[in-house]
């Protein structure tokens, strides 16, 4: 080996693991063959396969992050044969899948290479990345992801990591598979569905504790459980739909009522949990992957393109373009109205979606009236432009659900109103700021000058 190249290869090995197995050495040698200086080639390889790698915990994982390091214990491991298309031919491959866990949670993983460990072993993964698959975060281990087996790890044992985690509702997320919790039932409904040709009754509703709320579905009967009941749930499955977790009660889940002697020790009651949620700061909304049934308040600083009149597919309700649905092809669209806006409260901003019912309320025009405006104006964007003029700067409170996708946090509103009590507080604060300054004796009351109001 060239003495000038050896130190750089040693540094790459320390940073990225086995260079032969990952193919990184071949990449390095290719750069050298093109007369790239060794130090420049090394930096290029580090930027491509290493960069500024972060060491993360499972709870830190979110959509589309990459180039990080993670250590976890293998809870489950399996493999299956996959036939991949390679040009005009199919190439047989093996895909290794399972569950990896640390003290903060569990995550599904997939790897196109055999891992140096089995169930119960601790492995370290470098240059890993995250993808969303079937509404769940999935840890992906690629060909350039060095994996090593760790001995003497301080991680909790397999039995502890495999057990259901006791959690408050606010802490349940995509990193959880099985949880235990105590909550009260806020809402309850029943419906019948067909399962393998047989009718089955499904119970759905909303759970709440002092930290938040989550929807739940029960595939078993819940005798003695009704709205207002405070229950203990053990071994419930966590499902993720559009980024939002929900509690799934199966036949293996144990559900029991909390006795009166124990309810007195809880941090919540049905009455306290049933109160309307207090508006949160948008900064807090943005710090979490999802939040169910919460409220925020702020100014609509922007009405985004795509607001106004849209045409939807009658089959799947997707917005169609030029009469074409990307799933069902040529269709006769159905008119609908929506508003996509950006709300800001000074701590952060979030994209808020208002469906037709709320759009009609805050816009002050029905869908039919908006259609008349669209057809009477020569511009197809007449409704959008009218929405911008009418809504930009408005102060609103909204209640609904937030979730994170590859495009960031979005908030789907289910209710909206002008918070009059908050408005009064804001007016008093503004008047206080406009009062004369006692120290310098200057009058800061508003004065009319020219085209607006200014401070004297």
Read off φ and ψ for residue 124, nearest 5 degrees. -115, 130
DSSP H helices in 82-215: 158-162
329-355 tens-digit pLDDT = 999 999 999 999 999 999 999 999 999
Cα 71 from Cα 147, distance rounded (Å): 10
Domains of the chain with CATH codes? 6-51 (no CATH), 55-160 (2.40.50.140), 164-273 (2.40.50.140), 282-417 (2.40.50.140), 420-455 (no CATH)
pLDDT of residue 35: 79
Query: Measured between alpha carbons, how far is residue 49 from residues 4, 10, 24, 137 in Å?
Result: 22, 15, 8, 22
pLDDT of residue 442: 53
99-134 tens-digit pLDDT = 999 998 889 999 988 999 999 999 999 988 888 776
Q: DSSP letter string over 171-203?
A: G--TT-SEEEEEEEEEEEEEEEEEETTEEEEEE
365-400 tens-digit pLDDT = 999 999 999 888 767 789 999 999 999 999 999 999
237-268 tens-digit pLDDT = 999 887 789 999 998 899 999 988 888 899 99
Q: Is the pLDDT of residue 27 over 90?
A: no
Closest alpha carbon to 324 in 335, 337, 336, 311:
311
User: How sure is the predictor about 451, in pLDDT bands with cuts at 50, 70 and 90?
Assistant: very low
User: How sure is the predictor about 87, in pLDDT bands with cuts at 50, 70 and 90?
Assistant: low
Q: Is the pLDDT of residue 64 over 50?
A: yes
Query: Measured between alpha carbons, how far is residue 373 from residues 207, 238, 280, 380 in Å?
Result: 43, 46, 36, 10
pTM over 0.75: no
Cα 278 from Cα 419, distance rounded (Å): 12
Candidate from 22-36, 75-89, 422-436 with smallest mean pLDDT:
422-436
pLDDT of residue 440: 53
Closest alpha carbon to 72 in 95, 49, 94, 104:
104
Q: What average pLDDT is seen over the chain?
A: 86
User: How sure is the predictor about 164, in pLDDT bands with cuts at 50, 70 and 90?
Assistant: confident
Cα 399 from Cα 373, distance rounded (Å): 29
Question: Could you count the other beta carbons within 10 Å of the beta carbon of residue 161?
Answer: 21
172-183 tens-digit pLDDT = 987 788 899 999
Chain-centroid distance, C-alpha 424: 34
């Amino acid at each position: 080996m060239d003495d000038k190249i050896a130190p750089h290869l040693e540094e790459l090995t320390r940073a990225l693991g086995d260079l032969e197995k990952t193919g990184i050495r071949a990449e390095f040698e290719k750069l050298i063959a093109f007369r790239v200086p060794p130090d420049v080639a090394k930096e290029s390889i580090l930027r491509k396969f290493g960069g500024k790698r972060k060491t993360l915990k499972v709870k830190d994982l979110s959509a589309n992050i990459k180039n990080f390091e993670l250590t976890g214990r293998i809870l489950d491991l399996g493999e299956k044969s996959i036939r991949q298309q390679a040009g005009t031919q199919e190439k047989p491959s093996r895909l290794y899948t399972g569950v990896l866990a640390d003290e903060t949670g569990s995550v599904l993983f997939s790897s196109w290479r055999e891992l140096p460990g089995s169930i119960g072993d601790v492995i370290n993964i470098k240059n890993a990345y995250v993808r969303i698959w079937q509404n769940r975060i999935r840890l992906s281990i690629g060909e350039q992801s060095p994996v090593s087996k760790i001995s003497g790890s301080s991680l909790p044992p397999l039995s502890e990591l495999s057990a259901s985690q006791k959690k408050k509702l606010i802490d349940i997320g995509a990193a959880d598979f099985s949880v235990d919790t105590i909550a009260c039932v806020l809402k309850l409904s029943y419906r019948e569905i067909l399962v393998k040709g047989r009718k089955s009754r499904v119970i759905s509703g909303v759970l709440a504790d002092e930290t938040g709320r989550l929807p739940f579905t029960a595939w078993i009967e819940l005798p003695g459980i009704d709205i207002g009941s405070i229950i203990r749930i053990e071994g419930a499955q966590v499902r993720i739909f559009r980024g939002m977790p929900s509690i799934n009660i199966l036949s293996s889940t144990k559900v029991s009522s909390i006795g009166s002697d124990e309810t007195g020790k809880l941090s919540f009651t049905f009455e306290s949990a049933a109160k309307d949620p207090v508006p949160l700061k948008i900064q807090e909304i943005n710090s979490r992957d999802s939040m169910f049934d919460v409220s925020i308040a702020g100014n609509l600083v922007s009405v985004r393109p795509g607001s106004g009149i849209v045409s939807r597919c009658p089959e799947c309700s997707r917005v169609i373009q030029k009469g074409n649905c990307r799933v069902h092809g040529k269709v006769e669209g159905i008119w609908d109205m929506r508003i996509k806006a950006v709300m800001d409260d000074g701590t952060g901003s979030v994209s808020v979606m208002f469906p037709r019912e709320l759009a009609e309320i805050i816009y002050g025009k029905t869908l039919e009236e908006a259609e008349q405006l669209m057809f009477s104006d020569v511009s197809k964007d007449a409704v959008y432009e009218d929405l911008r003029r009418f809504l930009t700067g408005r102060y609103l409170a909204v209640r609904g659900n937030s979730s994170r996708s590859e495009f960031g946090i979005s908030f789907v509103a289910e209710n909206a109103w002008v918070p009059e009590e908050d408005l009064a507080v804001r007016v008093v604060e503004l008047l206080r700021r406009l009062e004369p300054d006692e120290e310098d004796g200057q009058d800061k009351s508003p004065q009319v000058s020219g085209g607006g109001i200014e401070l004297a």
